[in-house]
Structure 1
Amino acid sequence: MLKFKLEATCNKTKARAGVIETPHGKIETPVFMPVGTRATVKAMAPFELKAIGAQIILSNTYHLYLRPGADVVAEAGGLHNFMGWDRPILTDSGGFQVFSLSTLREITDDGVLFQSHLDGTRHFMTPEKATLVQEQLGSDIAMCFDECVPYPCSPENSYKAVERTIAWAERCKKAHKRSDQSLFGIVQGSVYPEQRIYCASELKKMDFPGYAIGGLSVGEPHEKMYQMLDVLSEELPHEKPRYLMGVGYPLNLLEGVARGVDMFDCVLPTRNGRNGTVFTYSGRINLKNKAYERDFSPIDPNCNCYACRNFSKAYIRHLYRSGEILASRLCTWHNLHFLVDLMSKARIAILEGSFEDFKRRFEDNFNDEGGRR
């Protein structure tokens, strides 16, 4: 069972440093979790993830349920054995994917009838089934099945999803039997503070070992996201970990940390890496741009990842233009290292009592070719 210990809090913000203990090891927070949707982090091998300091990765119930099937993973000895990763794993329940990827879906109070994006077959996912699948996968942290609404969303539709999310959370908790796996509740409520507070208060009554914040980073203005985090920073239990789902932009990460969030995940660093966009301490840049044709400096002189230690912007640009797979691998390696390292530095700053200054310096230096936020 999961244990969480707070080690330090910032006296000027809500930032916290802690340690989460799981059956597959400890996780120092705040932490960024690379996304391995289909039991692999795209372009990265497990030993490479360890090399960048990844403490925990995320996989997805929806995708693994459809292929290869939870029974196959269970027969392999669980997700850790199946993918060769012996550190902690968190599995998303698949709720977001059911609503975002399915070409056909019908939501009822019982569950969701959806059509597979792979072959068009129909499936019925219930809270009980989502819980069972995650137990078969054997992750350290599992998520309740929830209803995620898009942005914008009317108050009425959002409230219906909140009520359903609460009811489904209770069903997940009753169905969950695996003692070596911790089940987190998910707070929904779109951008409506009173709905977020209501959802969090109802989930707290169920006493989950951790709480996720879902339904953000779905197109709403960043200020709205921060407002919801401000609301929940006081509402969620201080003694339990908090997980902001689907957020991975560097400035958003630090704003989340400042509001008391402990865990983050996002496909952004791997997706951007495959497209030539990389994060640096000076900002975000696209290595495909001609400006880097004769730039023989590393991606970021302040970074000590494998890509920055060994290759130049010009070389990586050449790889992209030549269609070489190594380009995607190097940029993915760098981006993941960058976000993992950013959270490690934020943690050190919290422990040293200098987080507010650290955050301000980062924001002052981070300029974005594609727009600041």
Structure 2
Amino acid sequence: MTTRTEQTDDNSSNDSPSKRPRPELSPLYNPEVLPNELKNVDFTQRITWGKYAPYTEEVLPLKALDAPATPKHRLEMHIHNLSNRARAGTIHLQRPSSRPIPTPMFMPVGTKGCLKGVTIDELMHCLDCPIILGNTYHLAIQPGTELIREQGQLRKFQGNGNHNLLTDSGGFQMVSLSKLSNISEEGVTFENPFAKGETMLLKPEDSIRHQTNIGADIIMALDDVVSSVIADHDRFREATYRTLRWYDRCLQAKAEGDPDHQQNLFPIVQGGLDTQLGGLREQCLAGFRNRDQDVAGFAIGGLAGGESKDDFWRVVNQCCKALPDDRPRYLMGVGYPLDLVVCTALGVDMYDCVYPTRTARFGVALINDGTCKLKAQACATDFRVIQENCKCQACQLGITRSRLHFMYKTGNPVAVQLLTQHNLTYMMQLVGDMRNAILENRYPTYARAFVKNMFAEEAVPGWVVDALNEAGISLQE
């Protein structure tokens, strides 16, 4: 017969470090193939930067909205308030006369240096958008970044604006143009889609050179990107370790090409969907932590490629809980409004996506309870504006859904222009509303209302419930 004392003694001995069960590590954790730099990392514990991270007790000092900023060798990020894990901040760039970037922030995508249907002046002054994204690969193909540099870099090439610029590295095209690309340790070789038989080798050093020519304020390291839905563990492992090696080459190229520290280089966290202890995401995070010599900010890549939403939010959550709180967190390629609300709750600061502008070309408007398909026959007799209280040109002028329906039906290009402006206005209003809710300590209330409005007549998806619960936001309140 076992006594109460004996039970206590047995439990105590089981809790001793020598007898405590070893945490289960990811099947993709293989110490024999780990890079040497990661062999001494304790992967039985979650990776964290330590200082100013959720796993520690050291709290990031908050800054007043009007706190002065003096960025020198890299951008400076001020966090003004936290509402649960959601962050409201401001990114200050070191380029003279650059505009501060309030966060959360959505960045419209100007793939070839401009947006279809919206001018740079409209973006800056009518939509109050301080930053846009350009695509390094496409700008390198046409018109060529040397030509852009000769004309005073991309801002002048676009029309003498003072807007901020972020460029991707060209890595995403390894997935979107996979049939035209071949990847090796040296770099990625693309077939020129505009000139049959011509190829372009994009090495990490080339990516940095192109982004230097473009003159972007924030630039991305070239990463080895793998489609999130392929079932090839060896390829994910190869891409994760190569991403770390390529970052070293990008860092060296930036040191040589940007001696005045006018650009901010972000590494991109890869690792597929493996979020387990010791998994590839943890390994990539550990690798960048080892390389963190005052890194300007961090991007989260390899998502929004068809993976399940449950996998999606868990990767975002893992990265946000690991990355330091005093630098921006940029979730690449994400632009669905619901995703922004959920991922902001998890701690993301920056987003980009072609979705708002591309979907406008198909006649789909973003509205508070989802989307409105203006080409649908139901809109032919719908005399409401797209969205009440919207500040876009179409809504302010009283242009109805019915009018836009017939403009699309007859192929009038002004319809696309008006709807592009509307969708971008919606996105800028969305991030502004999220920011205000965080500053006023009511983000949980805001997120609940947003979700309940979007799913008023149907069940809220389980992934949304789980993700918000992880962020401390219950939809039951």
TM-score range, shorter chain: over 0.9
Match of 1:199 in 2: 284
Match of 1:28 in 2: 102
Per-residue CA deviations over 1:130-189 (Å, capped at 9, x if unaligned) read 001100100000000001111323222111100011100111011103211101000001
| 1:106 lines up with 2:179 in the alignment | no
Per-residue CA deviations over 1:253-277 (Å, capped at 9, x if unaligned) read 1111011100000000000001000
TM-score normalised to the size of structure 1?
A: 0.96
Shift of the alpha carbon at 1:231? 0.8
Q: Which runs of 5+ in 2 are unaligned?
A: 1-73, 462-477
Question: Which one of 439, 442, 448 corresponds to residue 354 of structure 1?
Answer: 442
Match of 1:147 in 2: 224
- State the one-letter code of the partner of 2:247: A
Q: Distance in 1 between matches of 2:329 and 2:242?
A: 21
| 1:128 lines up with 2:216 in the alignment | no
Match of 1:8 in 2: 81
Shift of the alpha carbon at 1:99? 3.4
Question: Which one of 286, 290, 311 corresponds to residue 224 of structure 1?
Answer: 311
Q: Which one has a larger percent strand, Structure 1 or Structure 2?
A: 1
- State the one-letter code of the partner of 1:54: C
Residues 145-224 of structure 1: matches in 2 within 5 Å? 145-153=222-230, 154-176=232-254, 177-178=257-258, 179-193=261-275, 194-207=279-292, 208-224=295-311
Q: Which runs of 5+ in 1 are unaligned?
A: none
Greater Cα shift, 47-56 or 251-260: 47-56
Shift of the alpha carbon at 1:368? 10
Match of 2:128 in 1: 53
Q: Distance in 1 between matches of 2:224 and 2:201?
A: 14
Q: Is the 1:102–1:115 Cα contact (8 Å) retained in structure 2?
A: no
Q: Distance in 1 between matches of 2:309 and 2:377?
A: 31
Q: Is the 1:281–1:302 Cα contact (8 Å) retained in structure 2?
A: no
Q: Is the 1:277–1:287 Cα contact (8 Å) retained in structure 2?
A: yes
Q: Is the 2:320–2:329 Cα contact (8 Å) retained in structure 1?
A: no
- State the one-letter code of the partner of 1:16: R
Count of aligned pairs: 371
| 1:345 lines up with 2:428 in the alignment | no
Q: Distance in 2 between matches of 1:95 and 1:44?
A: 26
Match of 1:138 in 2: 215
TM-score normalised to the size of structure 2?
A: 0.76
Shift of the alpha carbon at 1:98? 3.6
- Structure 1 pair 79–133 and aligned structure 2 pair: CA distance change class (3 A): same
| 1:38 lines up with 2:112 in the alignment | yes
SS in 1 for 2:133: strand
Question: Which one of 367, 388, 392 corresponds to residue 301 of structure 1?
Answer: 388
Question: Which one of 19, 27, 37 corresponds to residue 90 of structure 2?
Answer: 19
SS in 2 for 1:18: strand
Q: Is the 2:174–2:226 Cα contact (8 Å) retained in structure 1?
A: no
Larger Rg: 2
| 1:314 lines up with 2:402 in the alignment | yes
- Structure 1 pair 354–368 and aligned structure 2 pair: CA distance change class (3 A): closer
Per-residue CA deviations over 1:62-81 (Å, capped at 9, x if unaligned) read 00000000000000101111
Q: Distance in 2 between matches of 1:151 and 1:143?
A: 19
Shift of the alpha carbon at 1:205? 2.5
